[in-house]
Amino acid sequence: MPKPRVIYWFRTDLRLHDSTALEAALDLNPEAFWPIWIWDPHYVYCAREGHYGAVTNSSRKIGGKPTMSIGQVQTAGPKIGEISRPIPAPKSLPDPGETTLDFTQEIPKQDLDFNSKERKHDDKSYEKISGPNGDFAVPTLEELGFPPATTPHRGRETLALSSFSKIIADEKYTATFEKPKTVPTDFSPSPLRLSLCT
């Protein structure tokens, strides 16, 4: 029987004094022994250890090189030959025994819609991926089932720029702007109306 050829993979350091896997590999008295260091980004970038110096030093002691490319590994693989199985695969599996569990499954409540008290209609936004109108647009409050907004503020860049233009056109107001003596929640006059527009 020919002597085995052994590929020994390691990713941190080639521990010569307490590695049972290395000991088992060398106990085979192999014809060829390839210690292959695997590049592991976790240890390079995350672990603060000086083990790569140990990899190089320990590999040099046994005359090996610390790295091996995947191509070299694939080339070396066929040279090892067919790997013998230590035990034959089972032909049948044993009976697992009793598999029924005696318990009552509690179905969780489906009422998880926390916005239902605020909406007047059912939520239609997520019934289809294209939205309620099939146009992939951002749904309006009405389409989401909420009543129309009651605040004077409206979104969109166009409205913000329009409001900003009106304020800038009033040079006296802009030059003498002072934060209104109102609470932050007041809509009119808004405490941050000018700064919001800028």
- CA 108, CA 105: separation in Å to the nearest integer? 9
- What residue has token string 């009552």? 104
Residue 64, pLDDT above cutoff 70: no
Alpha helices (H) along the chain: 20-27, 41-45, 51-61, 70-80, 157-169, 171-175, 193-197
- CA 12, CA 46: separation in Å to the nearest integer? 13
Q: Name the residue range of residue 48's domain.
A: 5-80
184 shares its domain with 136: no
135 shares its domain with 175: no
Assess if residue 91 is contained within a domain: no
- CA 173, CA 121: separation in Å to the nearest integer? 44
Residue 49, pLDDT above cutoff 60: no
139 shares its domain with 177: no
- For CA atoms 59, 62, 63, 68, give the dihedral sign: negative
Residues 19-37 pLDDT 10s: 788 888 888 888 888 888 7
Assess if residue 145 is contained within a domain: yes
52 shares its domain with 18: yes
70 shares its domain with 9: yes
- CA 183, CA 145: separation in Å to the nearest integer? 30
190 shares its domain with 168: yes
The pLDDT of residue 188 is 64
Domain tally, the chain: 3
Residues 140-193 pLDDT 10s: 777 777 777 777 666 667 777 888 888 889 999 888 887 777 776 666 666 555
Assess if residue 96 is contained within a domain: no
162 shares its domain with 189: yes
73 shares its domain with 21: yes
Assess if residue 95 is contained within a domain: no
161 shares its domain with 146: no
30 shares its domain with 67: yes
* pTM beyond cutoff 0.75: no
9 shares its domain with 47: yes
35 shares its domain with 54: yes
Task: Indicate the burial class of 27 (C-beta count within 10 angstroms; 0-12, 13-18, 19 or more).
Answer: exposed
Assess if residue 105 is contained within a domain: no
